[in-house]
Chain A
Amino acid sequence: MTADDFDMDESLTLEVICSTVGARESLVLRLAQQGLLEATADETGQTLLPQRAVVELRRMQRLRRDLGVNFTGAAIIIDLVRRIEALNRELANYRD
């Protein structure tokens, strides 16, 4: 995210993320390993994901469900839409 997010950096355990969005742990772990979700580990080796991952996971799943893209495609779409939004904001600044 380019803009500051609020209460979105808070680290959540894999378990909490999975129960919040109703996803299997193996799926979320795989997405994190592929770099599609931002994940860290604490000193005990437990996987942590930021609160933001909840929103991103849901977005990926909607794109997958509605458009038939896979998770990698969904992650690329999310990234590109974000970049377009940032460009649009810049553009709006210069358009006056």
Chain B
Amino acid sequence: MASKKDFYQVLGVQRSASADEIKTAYRKLARKFHPDLNPGDKAAETRFKELQHAYDVLSDAENRKLYDQYGDDWQAVKQGGGPPPPGWQPGRGAGAGASAGAGARGGQGFDFSGFDFGSRGPEGSTPGFDIFEELFGGRTGRNTRRRARGADAEAQLEISLEEAHAGGRRSLQMQVAEVCPTCHGTGTVNENVCPTCHGAGQVAQLKTLEVNIPAGVRDGSTVRLAGQGGAGSEGQPAGDLYLHIRLRPHPVFTVHGDDLEVELPIAPWEAVLGGKVDVQKIDGKAALTIPQGAQTGQRLRLRGQGLNKRKGGRGDEYVRLKIVVPKKVSAEEQRLYEDLRKTSQFDPRNSNRH
């Protein structure tokens, strides 16, 4: 978690670094690890969140002073108006949630919803720090519209080729903002800072979503799931969820748009004599007729056996033949090949012959 790491180390600067040095270091690392520049890269995403967290604190002179003095407890000091009591433990509330983002089961989630036009200047300076602004957008009291409607969320979801073809249901877990159950959104309990949310009034909670993956999605598709984002307050509609689809590489098929390609190994005699062999399809098997005189690299088309298209219909499957020969042969096979050598007029280096 971000709160465990030293903010200066995260930014790679000395404790004595000037505000400008901190900004330069942040910008440099942000360019490298920004999630929008590294789509689907979980490690970069985690790094970036740590960076943002560290920069948010250290770029503010007052917060930086508190951090220098109290370390990880600085926020409690700030909100509680005094040093933390002995034995005070940073809770699993706001600070713990800061770098969690959205985790999609079996895929990577990233909650991009912390976003508000104009809340932060282009210089990236934020007075004060509040993780819920990072996660869920909308500075308190400033953008009431976004407060009312649930926040939109974006997440990456990795699916198999079979799921992309047939569609299906997936459950994924997302971090969403809920009203704090301890203080009911007020941020205080008996005039003290709420121990659960540390005064934010909201807590980040894992919510399990059942999403329908429509048949026909592709790598790089974005699926909008209306009303599946963050919950709206006071009867307002929930936000939308934008799922950015990644396709897991398939062990058998390569994908070219709506078409699939598969390599099919065949024996020399199958190539010469032709025959019927089984070939794998995305949804089963098909009997494929190999023509006489088939060649390595020859592509046979199974019309309409590719991936389901978004608006109906299917692509094609291409079967790429590859003639393979046994590495070891029996004495009998050896004899037959020797006979063939004597009998055959075929000269592969002189294609005019055959």
B242: chain A residues at CB < 8 Å are 54-55
Which of B245-302 touch A at CB < 8 Å? 245, 249, 254-256
A23 to B118, CA, bound (A): 8
Please determine whether B115 and A61 come into contact, CB atoms closer than 8 angstroms. yes
A1: chain B residues at CB < 8 Å are 220-222
A68: chain B residues at CB < 8 Å are 27, 122-124
Interface size on A, residues (CB 8 A): 40
Q: Which of A20, A52, A89 contacts B152 (CB 8 A)?
A: A20
A5: chain B residues at CB < 8 Å are 221-223
Please determine whether A65 and B255 come into contact, CB atoms closer than 8 angstroms. no
Interface size on B, residues (CB 8 A): 43
A to B contact number (C-beta, < 8 Å): 101
Please determine whether B226 and A7 come into contact, CB atoms closer than 8 angstroms. yes
Given contacts A6-B223, A7-B224, whether A78 and B310 have CB atoms under 8 Å apart is no
B116: chain A residues at CB < 8 Å are 22
Among B31-39, B91-99, B321-329, the stretch that binds chain A is: B31-39
Please determine whether B220 and A85 come into contact, CB atoms closer than 8 angstroms. yes
CB-based nearest A residue for B31? A67
Query: 0/1 per residue, B308-331, Cβ < 8 Å to A?
Result: 001000000000000000000000
CB-based nearest A residue for B214? A6
CB-based nearest A residue for B145? A19
- Residue from B52, B124, B216 having most chain A Cβ neighbours under 10 A: B124
Question: Chain B's nearest CB lies how many Å from the CB of A6?
Answer: 4
Question: Chain B's nearest CB lies how many Å from the CB of A23?
Answer: 4
Chain B contact residues: helix, strand, loop or mixed? loop
Please determine whether B217 and A81 come into contact, CB atoms closer than 8 angstroms. no
Question: Chain B's nearest CB lies how many Å from the CB of A17?
Answer: 11
Question: Chain B's nearest CB lies how many Å from the CB of A26?
Answer: 12
Please determine whether A64 and B122 come into contact, CB atoms closer than 8 angstroms. yes
Q: Which of A4, A61, A96 contacts B117 (CB 8 A)?
A: A61
Please determine whether A96 and B254 come into contact, CB atoms closer than 8 angstroms. yes
Please determine whether A21 and B220 come into contact, CB atoms closer than 8 angstroms. no
Given contacts A22-B145, A93-B256, whether A3 and B154 have CB atoms under 8 Å apart is no
Question: Chain B's nearest CB lies how many Å from the CB of A96?
Answer: 7
Given contacts A66-B124, A93-B256, whether A6 and B224 have CB atoms under 8 Å apart is yes
A66 to B224, CA, bound (A): 25
Which of B208-236 touch A at CB < 8 Å? 214, 216-224, 226
Residues of B within 8 A of A (CB): 27, 30-31, 34, 36-37, 39, 52, 112, 115-118, 120, 122-124, 137-138, 143, 145-146, 149, 152, 154, 214, 216-224, 226, 242, 245, 249, 254-256, 310
Q: List 7 A-B contacts (CB under 8 A).
A: A1-B220, A19-B145, A22-B118, A66-B34, A81-B39, A85-B220, A93-B256
Residues of A within 8 A of B (CB): 1-8, 19-24, 27, 51-52, 54-55, 58-59, 61-68, 70, 77-78, 81-82, 85-86, 89, 92-93, 96
Closest 3 CB pairs of A and B: A3-B220, A3-B218, A7-B224
